[in-house]
Structure 1
């Protein structure tokens, strides 16, 4: 076996791992192990016949000035386009602007009446209670009332998660679910501007190369050989600060930053306390299946993405890469990503394209040049009752052993691309401070 000594070993060449490596590599010996054949993780892109496809929609929403500066040093401002979101919600066969909860005026008057009544009653009831919601199902009922919950929040999210919302906790949503005031909901019901944009109202996107251009720019800042593609972490001994890669190389490291999924990190270690191994077994995630669709013509609707709550439509969201950035398709053509509700069964191809016709995204199957079925393992971690305690015990175990677990899967959470970059920069700062 070849042995190599490094200051910092980074596991995973997604946005988090690469950001940490870039922040450290100018002064420390850094190696990045990546099991896949390209950098970027789920923020990678692929192309075919002039179409560029991401791993479903990846739009860069920046709130942090620190991350914005870092990103614009990688790719200058002229390498980006800034896009104002166009999104809609499909409920009960009706198109409603996004966010749904502040555009009730698009619904039939009787539905608006019921939604407003239930919303106000739910807010009054919630204000009198001191106990927090225990489940996601309870949260949406208490925040939005039974009518809005039944129309959109429950069916859409059950299609997305593939499970009843009673199995999910209420503690994960944070900024990702726009939470309007009573005035904003009433204003939207009356057709007035409710001034509730949500966290993703504007976003950046690379002019060329798809979202994968961001990860490629990060990797380009590292010296040749720093990133080891097709090289997974096979075994880890945190107490001895020793890692074995799939190519047989043994790495002796001073610091380790891992972005690999927590259950896989536990599995790579021989000596893990039984309680930690038991808690890791409770960490769940849902896989996704989606279609990349190349169109002979632009999409028939202008939205960047549409949330589809109707249970008779076999997908929960359809987005258009080319509506957001036309150069992602050849001139005069278009592209879609279609996120399917059914993860496992035979592809219901006819039903999917009938659904796209029904909601007006394509005119007929003749619009389709080709499509490819894709899968995303562990697309979202599951925020069930065991989630927070289990991930905390596992992460604390590795932190005590000098292993910093970062990123979406190292933290076992839901976060944005900006969050992943920030987490990588924070991990690098921890190394500099001697804390990682």
Structure 2
């Protein structure tokens, strides 16, 4: 637990004071807890530290706007695009309360029932695919059922656990579903073959099919109902997902936040327990909560041992592509939320109908925009601006050393992929495009991951550094917005009160279906009663 010595600490200058020259920019500051990064994890830590009476703290981020990998961009034409597909659903009351405090009005939100499909064999198969093979052509139904039956028979006599994600897929679903959907889709998502991924991360993220129910649905030609923790989700009415985190940041004291050039980290000296910012300011700390990618963190520390260790972690990059279209939303799109694409007729693995999440995710119909091109690639007959209405699609493409991409032509290829999959017609008018690449997109649950993390994270913590967050702790299974936020909250509680970090250390517990409505305090009490059994 943190030894608080508040009488020795200087007051943290506000960003505004620095601008006004009231305090020297290149100075030395001392705080009990320094938080690096103002994404969901860093804001969760700051939120909790602000509630606890005692520790002094400061949060810094190199971006002018908080949000991190949960931020939102706006095109010059007025279309909004999140950094990938984000929706709000929660395993924690603390998270719910923080979000509702930031955006407290009913009008701040839209609530949606997830409507998702998989594009396969020129058909739209309801999600999850493995529960809805009744929608496939008869030959594919037979192949999938054969594989499921063989898998069920094998499961009765198997006495070993699957060695990797690929073995897990075959054991749970059979070779038919594996070849038709799971292997090609997951390669498109993760940018690594399923044979190179472990399977401990799965939890509630992949639905295991019920053979009896699937058989019944195939015979009766029925589809399965919604599944999963995000079957119902919320989305902010305005400003996209990033608007949530701007609102959360606005609940914190401005004097304890530094964003932009004055919040950028240039060096971390773990031995001296100090961080040097790019403007020359030195921040001394007792404990450090870092939400930057852990491989970047150890580079900033210039620690060769930890740098070499971090090289065992694998990640993929993510390209987010946005397409704004003139016209009424077509009937073929309807109320769809997000869609999955396992086949090679398009480069993207997922498409989100972003305009369906909020009417404010695109310009007003009265706004006049010029047509850039037709979906076929042809030039428009006129370049004169004209009114809408408008709708939009957001696409995601993965990239890695095992799955290179044609970045120069990606936008062109994605638009052609939308035509190939009948998402767009060749004559549709495109009025806005967006393309942004994120170097760290997905923290891959590779076979080597746990061997690295079980050494790397404790070594950092022994130096007083809590590396937390989607890439800070590198555990995708607790990488949603609610998980990420709580990783920060629980790190702060551990520092100040010695509380157990449930989300980091017990992901299966926080993700358990019986625990979907878990409450932070009750969960801590349950775990506390059985701590010896799980330590």
TM-score range, shorter chain: over 0.9
> What's the counterpart of residue 17 of structure 1?
42
Q: Which of 344, 348, 351 does residue 311 from structure 1 map onto?
A: 344
The answer to whether the aligner puts 1:201 opposite 2:231 as a matched pair is yes
> What's the counterpart of residue 297 of structure 1?
327
Look up the SS of the partner of 2:350 in the other structure.
strand
> What's the counterpart of residue 497 of structure 2?
433
Measure how far apart 1:196 and its partner are: 5.1
Q: For structure 2, list consecutive stretches of 5 or more residues without a partner in the other structure.
A: 1-25, 366-388, 502-535
> What's the counterpart of residue 68 of structure 1?
96
CA distance in 1, matches of 2:215, 2:110: 34
CA distance in 2, matches of 1:113, 1:138: 21
Range with bigger deviation, 212-221 or 235-244? 235-244
Q: For structure 1, list consecutive stretches of 5 or more residues without a partner in the other structure.
A: none
Contact 1:102 1:187 in 2 (8 A): no
Structure-to-structure mapping, 1:81-100, within 5 angstroms: 81-100=110-129
Range with bigger deviation, 172-181 or 356-365? 356-365
RMSD value, Cα: 1.9
Deviations 1:32-68 (A, max 9, x none): 1112232100111122333222112211112323322
Deviations 1:235-254 (A, max 9, x none): 22223321112221111112
> What's the counterpart of residue 72 of structure 2?
45
**Alpha-carbon spacing, 1:322–1:196, altered in 2? closer, same or farther (3 Å):** closer
Look up the SS of the partner of 1:309 in the other structure.
coil
Contact 2:34 2:58 in 1 (8 A): yes
CA distance in 2, matches of 1:270, 1:309: 41
Contact 1:187 1:193 in 2 (8 A): no
**Alpha-carbon spacing, 1:115–1:82, altered in 2? closer, same or farther (3 Å):** same
Measure how far apart 1:186 and its partner are: 2.3
Look up the SS of the partner of 1:404 in the other structure.
strand
Contact 1:299 1:320 in 2 (8 A): no
Contact 2:110 2:235 in 1 (8 A): yes
Measure how far apart 1:349 and its partner are: 4.1
> What's the counterpart of residue 432 of structure 2?
370
Measure how far apart 1:387 and its partner are: 0.9
Contact 1:286 1:377 in 2 (8 A): yes
Look up the SS of the partner of 2:436 in the other structure.
strand
Contact 1:103 1:191 in 2 (8 A): no
CA distance in 2, matches of 1:127, 1:4: 63
> What's the counterpart of residue 329 of structure 1?
362
TM-score relative to the length of structure 1: 0.94
> What's the counterpart of residue 155 of structure 1?
184
**Alpha-carbon spacing, 1:187–1:419, altered in 2? closer, same or farther (3 Å):** farther
**Alpha-carbon spacing, 1:168–1:366, altered in 2? closer, same or farther (3 Å):** same
Measure how far apart 1:308 and its partner are: 0.4
Contact 2:110 2:357 in 1 (8 A): no
Range with bigger deviation, 340-349 or 114-123? 340-349
Question: Would you say how many aligned residue pairs link Structure 1 and Structure 2?
Answer: 434
Deviations 1:137-156 (A, max 9, x none): 11111111111011111111
The answer to whether the aligner puts 1:382 opposite 2:415 as a matched pair is no
Q: Which of 420, 423, 426 does residue 484 from structure 2 map onto?
A: 420
Deviations 1:275-329 (A, max 9, x none): x332111112110123111111244312111100112322211111112222211
CA distance in 1, matches of 2:46, 2:89: 22
**Alpha-carbon spacing, 1:348–1:265, altered in 2? closer, same or farther (3 Å):** closer
